[in-house]
Amino acid sequence: MSFTVTILPSGHQMEVEDDESVLDAALRQGYALPYGCRNGGCGSCMGKLITGEVDYGPMRPRALSEEDEAAGKALFCQAYAMTDLEIEVPEIGAVKDIVVKTLPARVVEMNRLNHDVMELRLKLPAIERLQFLAGQYIDILLRDGRRRSFSLANPPHRDETLELHVRHVPGGSFTTQVFETMKPKALVRIEGPLGTFFLREDSDRPILMMAGGTGFAPLQGMLEHVFAQAIDRPIHLYWGTRSREDLYRDEQVRAWCAEHTQLRYTPVLSEALDDTTWEGERGWVHETLLRDYPDLSAHDVYMSGPPPMIAAARPLFLAHGLPETQLFFDSFE
């Protein structure tokens, strides 16, 4: 059984089968709706359900609160149509024509960046190039059918190798493999590029970037892209981590600040109380950003990090005047 979905404000119409999510149907038919995790955890695919009914199965998706649902919001990566629908969600022209590929890739370099982050560099077969937008991610396809998502930390013009920042998740089988048994020359399969977290180049608003931990990776790709393209917009990067050691590209960012006057940088440590020599900011990174920018109405904000950081920051940023259309985020465990 299939239903008709009308996407507003474009008026595009598509068919959705009863065994596929609204997002899957859209991507299958070439409509680029916003998305990130595709598992109900990040909230990137949220839009409005204007008319019709959707079903989420027995559990409400994590990123959809009761208040969201009561306000007519829907999470389209998890929503199955029960009737014809009218939905309101911005279509993203820039990713529409980018081809998602499944490819073999070889690990050509592994660099420990600190105690629990590894830089993996992957090389594609000689005849292949991955066309992507700065900030998008790829999935590594595991043999058992599961997949692990990692942001591309390199900008599109630096694509001889794909750069990933892999944080060791205790008990996580893939990241443990990366830290304990993987060696250069290993082969993996990837799918990508994916997601709609990328730099919007049609805006001229000043940019605030906020990273949590390895959420720095896609922002690194965006920053290198900005510098290479000579995009002349002020950028202030906030990077929140537990300790100083977790700021694994701190020196690099400081070197960029010295070279590019458009960039400001504020690292924020949430722990490390015994680090008496740290003279920088302490506390929650989103609170530090809001202290510096209590009025966000004129900015574009890009944030990337763990779900609790995104969940804490999103409503506060909107309450401080940030238009919802100017907030872009990526949320990964």
Number of residues that bind ligand FES (CB under 6 A): 13
Residue 35 contacts ligand FES per CB under 6 A: yes
Burial 209-228 (b: 16+ CB within 10 A, else e): bbbbbbbbbbbbbbbbbbbe
Give the x-and-dash track for 176-195 against ligand FES (CB under 6 A): --------------------
Q: Which is nearer to ligand FES, 104 or 307 (CB)?
A: 307
> What angle separates helix 250-259 from helix 216-228, to the nearest 10 degrees?
20
Question: Strands, E, within the chain: which ranges?
Answer: 2-8, 12-17, 46-51, 54-55, 73-75, 80-81, 85-88, 101-112, 117-123, 137-141, 147-151, 162-167, 187-194, 207-212, 235-241, 263-269, 281-282, 300-305, 327-331
Q: Which is nearer to ligand FES, 38 or 249 (CB)?
A: 38
- The length of the chain in residues reads 333
On whether the CB atoms of residues 82 and 2 are closer than 8 A, the answer is no
Given candidates 41, 213, 215, 218, which one binds ligand FES under the rule CB under 6 A?
41
Given candidates 42, 54, 87, 164, which one binds ligand FES under the rule CB under 6 A?
42
Residue 45 contacts ligand FES per CB under 6 A: yes
Given candidates 25, 26, 43, 54, which one binds ligand FES under the rule CB under 6 A?
43
* Min separation Cβ 81 and ligand FES, Å: 15
Pairwise CA distance, residues 97 & 318, whole Å: 31
Phi, psi of 314 (to 5 degrees): -55, -55
- Footprint of ligand FES on residues 60-89 (CB under 6 A)? 63, 75, 77
Classify residue 214 by its DSSP letter: G
Q: Which is nearer to ligand FES, 75 or 178 (CB)?
A: 75
Residue 240 contacts ligand FES per CB under 6 A: no
On whether the CB atoms of residues 215 and 229 are closer than 8 A, the answer is no
Q: Which is nearer to ligand FES, 36 or 212 (CB)?
A: 36
Binding range to ligand FES, per CB under 6 A, among 31-39, 105-113, 291-299, 301-309: 31-39
Report the interface residues with ligand FES, using CB under 6 A. Answer: 35-38, 40-45, 63, 75, 77
